[in-house]
A and B are shown apart, each in its own frame.
Chain A
Amino acid sequence: MTATGKYLRIALGVAVIAALIIVPMNFNRYGLYILSQWAVMTIAAMGLNLTLGYAGQVSLAQGAFVGIGAYAAAIMTTQGMPLVAALAVAIVLCFAIGWILGYPALRVQHHYLAFVTLAFSTLAFLIFRNEDWLTKGIYGISNIPRPNVLGFATNRPLPFYYFCLGSLGIVSLAMWWLIRSPWGRAFVALRENPVRALSLGIDTRRYTLMAFAIGSALGGVAGTLYAPLTQYIDPVPFNLSLSLDLLMMVIVGGSGFFFGPFLGAMIAVLLPEWLRFTQGYYLMLYAVAVILLLIYSPTGILGILDRYLAERRTKAASALRAVAKSRLETAP
């Protein structure tokens, strides 16, 4: 990559971050709510992107992990405990459950694995709904407080949005570091060719479990933000459709691309809202848009960009080759 290209990318990144901070200052409560929702869903999708995009394990349980995180936050903060404690519990719990759920992934792959995680998703939903003593069942938990962060109350929509955005920032940095660490390389090796990874001395068993556990823990993090965002939770939002939604976000954005979940969550959260002016048709149009996108580019939005860049590189390379060849031919 050239130096200018690098600076351009940094400049673009800074501009996007600045826009995410400054532009919403004038937004109404609805706009801020939707943007906060985008940040929360992006975190959950990033977790799934790690499991699916980098380590290649199909999971239909990410929505359940968001639910576990949300219930941890709701139950603990309504009892007067701080959200940080709930966050810790959610991360540990989701990590542990994700680790255990990863065991079938050692034996089954692809759609068989999807079925195992689907069963877990249903199980989690039934626990949320039927264990009244803990989750208040179908009535749900209301009046979930929003946290004080470093002494600032986040009750108003704008501070809470910044809280979600800040959390997204921290998670993104951690993820950025993770996928560039030896772990991240090992995850990709696992996806591309497990046998070769094993022969290279990568403990595929441990890394498979790890990919599942970390991805699930991020689902839990998203959940602990979701509960104070809506301030009321019941089991319904955490059923299978959320897991499918998150899966779609990852695939539509571009599975295995770092920025895939950001774009995917944007499509899944914002596109239906933009299409609402079409009244009864908005969900249909949304579905059609997603289908068309995946027909055009099965690797998602970032897949289009990737294809374009690859083509440009190929063109540049063949141009260079042609020049070199003509030089050779014209050489005396």
Chain B
Amino acid sequence: MRSGIFAGLLLATVSATAAFAQGAPIKLANVAELSGGGATVGNNWKNGIDLAIEEVNAKGGLLGRKLEVTHADSQSNPGVARAQVQKALDNEPYVLLGPGYSGSVKVTSPLAAEAGIAQIMGGEAAELTQGGNKFLFRTSFGQQSSMPKVAKYINDELKAKSVAIVWVNNDFGKGGRDVITKEFAKYNIKVAADISTEAGQADFAADVSKIKAAAPDVVFVYVNEEESARMLKELKRQAITVPLVGETTLVGQKVVELAGDAANGARGHVGLTTDAPVDLVKAFREKFVKKYNYVPDHNGLKGYLAIYMIKATTEKMGKVDSKAFADNLHGLTIKAASEPGILMDVTFDEKGDIDRQGFLVEIVEGKQVVKQVLPKLN
């Protein structure tokens, strides 16, 4: 018995020593919504991460070391997310990935900051990066950068004087609604109807009747993909013909598939989409579909990009240094020409927000057509 314990200890010591040697894997930890209300978000994010890690490792890894990731399920519950992030941080990962829900990001980001470990997450709520956290990074536009573009488009191009806002009552929908309402106020656009809907809502007849009664110049729809499709169908059924404007979730491929004809004419601002007219994005989409047999939403792209953010930053530093990571990612510009995995040129500012090109698209005969490319700011 005793010799068995000794052997075990010896083995543990040997493997621990080996872990410090050059060539040991770099540990990453992902905490995401793998079950519960955010399961679509979390699983897309996870698959994106796995795909990117597979690619990096197939090409010899990062600075000659393999990447390794552990996935933990937050059950879409902030309390559980906190426990899982705590667990992940106790194992001292190089970088923390996730979560995707803004509430879960809020509860976990102080922990990562305290541990001095960079956190690359999927949350889009505006306030996440405004609290001065030096370790938190986005993978997509925050609502504070996407919504002003949408409001500007509604004002400048569509010349709307009044608008109906339809939003889903969770942190994603409410966040977007609050930001765009302020933007509309700047342009003196009247909010004729302010309609909150539930995640998973099946019937929008009553909501659309309210829109009809309010007779706005434009309807702004900010709900998830499935609900967007149902909403579009109901809008068509009740013969509402004013322009329908939204964000990524209104004009995605999934919405087109579900809504069919009703999706035609819908337009929106898109930050990350697998329909982007960019060759690298198209190639990503093909790889993803080949591996997982479905077309990812923007969360799949976000997870994929997170890994390439790590790769580019680490290669810039020339070493694996978890403490210096956040400092080096701040202010970094990653060019797709030198790091194809990043798909589109991107710059990270001091707050951890991103700057990247965006698109204004419209659905024409069941296809996403890019009407305007909104260039990167810097």
Contacts and interface: CB of A to CB of B under 8 A. Distances in A.
Interface in B60-93: 71-73, 75-79, 82-83, 86-87, 89-90
Contacts of B76: 236
Nearest to B37: A236
A140 interface: yes
Nearest to B85: A30
B90 A138 contact: no
Contacts of A231: 82, 107, 110
Contact of B79 (A139, A237, A279): A237
Interface in A114-147: 129-130, 137-140, 142
Contacts of A129: 169
Contacts of B161: none
Contacts of A185: none
A30 B174 contact: no
B321 interface: no
Interface in A1-56: 28-30, 33-34, 37
B contacts with A: majority SS: helix
A139 B174 contact: yes
B174 A230 contact: no
A280 interface: yes
A283 interface: yes
A183 interface: no
A315 interface: no
Contacts of A279: 71
Given A138-B174, A282-B73, A33 B83 contact: yes
A123 to B, nearest CB: 15
B86 A29 contact: yes
Contacts, number: 70
A107 B169 CA distance: 35
Interface in A81-130: 129-130
Interface in A217-235: 226, 229-234
Contacts of A276: 72-73
A231 B73 CA distance: 20
Contacts of A130: 169
B107 A37 contact: no
Q: Which of B34, B76, B78, B171 has the most CB of A within 10 A?
A: B78
Contacts of A233: 78
Interface string B22-57: 000000000000110100000000000000000000
Contacts of B236: none
B106 A138 contact: no
B107 A230 contact: yes
B277 to A, nearest CB: 35
A160 B294 CA distance: 45
B83 A34 contact: yes
Contact of B171 (A28, A138, A282): A138
Contact of B87 (A30, A232, A236): A30
A273 B82 CA distance: 13
B364 to A, nearest CB: 35
B104 to A, nearest CB: 9
B90 A232 contact: no
Interface in B89-128: 89-90, 103, 106-107, 110, 125, 127
Interface string A268-308: 00000100100110110000000000000000000000000
B170 interface: yes
Nearest to B168: A138
Given A234-B103, A236-B78, A282-B73, A30 B86 contact: yes
Nearest to A40: B79
Nearest to B46: A280
Contact of B78 (A137, A232, A273, A280): A232
B106 A232 contact: yes
A142 B83 contact: no
A29 B90 contact: yes
Contacts of A280: 34
B82 A33 contact: yes
Interface in A228-258: 229-234, 236-237
A138 B37 CA distance: 14
A232 B103 contact: yes
B171 A33 contact: no
Given A232-B103, A232-B107, A236-B37, A138 B83 contact: no
A220 to B, nearest CB: 17
Contacts of B107: 142, 230-232
A142 B79 contact: no
Nearest to A280: B34
A130 B198 CA distance: 12
A280 B77 CA distance: 17
Contact of A30 (B35, B83, B170, B175): B83
Nearest to B196: A130
A276 B75 CA distance: 12
A140 B170 contact: no
B10 to A, nearest CB: 23
Contacts of A282: 73
Nearest to B174: A138
Given A29-B86, A33-B83, A283 B78 contact: no
Nearest to A157: B86
A34 B110 CA distance: 18
B71 A137 contact: no
B102 to A, nearest CB: 8
B106 A140 contact: yes
A234 B86 CA distance: 19
B90 A30 contact: yes
Q: Which 9 A-B pairs have the closest CB atoms?
A: A30-B87, A232-B107, A30-B86, A28-B90, A234-B103, A230-B79, A138-B174, A138-B171, A29-B86
Given A230-B78, A232-B78, 11 more contacts: A28-B87, A30-B86, A37-B79, A130-B169, A139-B103, A226-B79, A231-B82, A234-B103, A236-B77, A276-B72, A283-B73
13 contacts: A28-B90, A29-B90, A30-B87, A30-B90, A33-B83, A34-B83, A138-B103, A138-B169, A142-B107, A230-B107, A234-B171, A236-B76, A282-B73
Interface of A: 28-30, 33-34, 37, 129-130, 137-140, 142, 226, 229-234, 236-237, 273, 276, 279-280, 282-283
